[in-house]
Amino acid sequence: KVNSDPNGLVRIKRVLVSVSDKTSIVNLCQFLTSMGVEVISTGGSAKILMENGVAVTEVSDYTEFPELLDGRLKTLNPKIHGGLLGIRDNEDHHQAMAEHGILPIDACVVNLYPFEETVNSGADFGTCVENIDVGGPAMIRAAAKNFKSVTVVTEVDQYAELLTELAENDGCTSLALREKYAGAAYARTAVYDAKIASWFSMQGEDHFPERLVISGTLKQRLRYGENPHQRAAFYVSDGPKRLGAATSEIIQGKELSYNNIADTDAAWELVCEFNEPAVAIIKHANPCGAAVGVNPMDAYLRALACDPISAFGGIVAFNRTLDKDAAEEVIKTFTEVVIAPDSTAEALQILSQKKNLRVLLTGGIPADELGWTVKSVASGYLVQDRDAGSVTEAQLQIVTKRAPTAQEITDMLFAWKVSLGSSEACTIRVFFVSHEMAFVNVGFDTISSGVQVRQVERDRVCKGWIHCRPRGRADEPSGFRSNSSSKSEGDL
């Protein structure tokens, strides 16, 4: 009567199926029935299984209780939850189940109403409420609690592993698999409930909820973190998706590292600040160059000219479709990652010459949606609205003796955008010298591994460019001033 064995294997004799996402459910249930498993199913799931020749007992027939309230009440029944929760080697449980005609249910395959997708689609309030699943989370939690005897499956991606396990163990699942799936099940319902709670809180005036749950889905287990001794992984947010490094399609190249992902995100967010064709080059959380141009190639060459030495082994971001001309220039310098909204076939063919070069395509430029940015601190999180602000020439107040020229204002606004974009994404505070909408030089408050602040380079750049602007240029840091103590009418 106890449906288990000393090795932790449990044979599946009866399975409950209730899925919104019906991907591969027919194949799964065909395999289960071929092994003699009884399938109990609900509404739409039962319909598609029967249409494909799978023998099914509908829930209402099994519970001897009809579906009520437009389908809101289907599985909240003692025959369902008793079958999931009953402890198999507990004699009292066994007697109670027998007395009330409750049969043990050995597996539960459930995925939830698409609440998150419904909200993201812009559906009205009533439609979103109707897509809040009640019975599904209840069944998942009941099955997960009784994982010593019950297998709970909540993701389509788990089907293949489940079928392999059943085939290898003559229709049984191991305790290790059931425990792993139970953990995944509770994580799924936790995220689901958190999204519902967050959505409800956003309906009122409370912009920030009393309780904040940050959830994500594992995308990649990384070789190591920022340093080789740190373990790391990459998760994609379960919330609304913003086009960028996390959601991009990887076209070619080696596996991304922790630092690759961080730098790619920084470079991408920086170029998305601009409406004009723009390129940013980031390395080890430091901006090596940024520029706008008449086309992607022009912007890239101008960005590269800022510091071609530090750009070696960097991340290059474009905010325009990558074309043949730009790709031909990119492969002339060793580059770790290229990210762009899209690429021509010719450009991809050129980049493919560098087999290890990672190429990421985002599918577009992110919209100026509000959303949040989150930063972790010890035992807490700092949450704020995404910075969608901007500074225009009309907002500037001239407080110096000499008014800047039109070109100087253009350069300062460019430098302002770059400094804000860099401070959001990079770990080093920077100051910029810009000329004609490109960096002339970048200075750092500290020295970071991989990008050394070279005094000789700074002096070389300053001496080379000092003739391009009046002394005391509005965007010239004090560290780049001439050593001469004399002042001119142009000083600020």
Q: Give the whole-angstrom CA distance, residue 232 versus residue 5.
A: 37
Kindly name the residue from 79, 81, 283, 284 that is annotated as catalytic: 284
From residue 350, give the alpha-carbon distance in Å to each of 134, 332, 342, 393. 53, 11, 14, 40
User: Three-state SS for 337?
Assistant: strand
Host H or E run for residue 374? strand 372-377
User: Which residues are registered as beta bridge partners of 282?
Assistant: 287, 315
Q: Give the whole-angstrom CA distance, residue 62 versus residue 40.
A: 8
Instruction: Verify whether residue 284 is a known catalytic residue.
Output: yes
Q: Give the whole-angstrom CA distance, residue 186 versus residue 133.
A: 15
Cβ contacts of 298 within 8 Å, gap of 6 or more = 277
Q: Give the whole-angstrom CA distance, residue 329 versus residue 282.
A: 17
Host H or E run for residue 419? helix 406-425
Instruction: Verify whether residue 145 is a known catalytic residue.
Output: yes
One-character DSSP codes across 421-464: HHHHH-SS-EEEEESSSBEEEEEESS-BTTB---HHHHHHHHHH
Which of 11, 110, 93 lies closest to 59, judged by CA?
110
One-character DSSP codes across 176-192: HHHHHHHHHHHHHHHHH
Q: Give the whole-angstrom CA distance, residue 48 versus residue 371.
A: 39
One-character DSSP codes across 384-417: EE-------GGG----SSSPPPHHHHHHHHHHHH
Kindly name the residue from 13, 93, 145, 219 that is annotated as catalytic: 145
Q: Annotated catalytic sites, by residue?
A: 145, 284
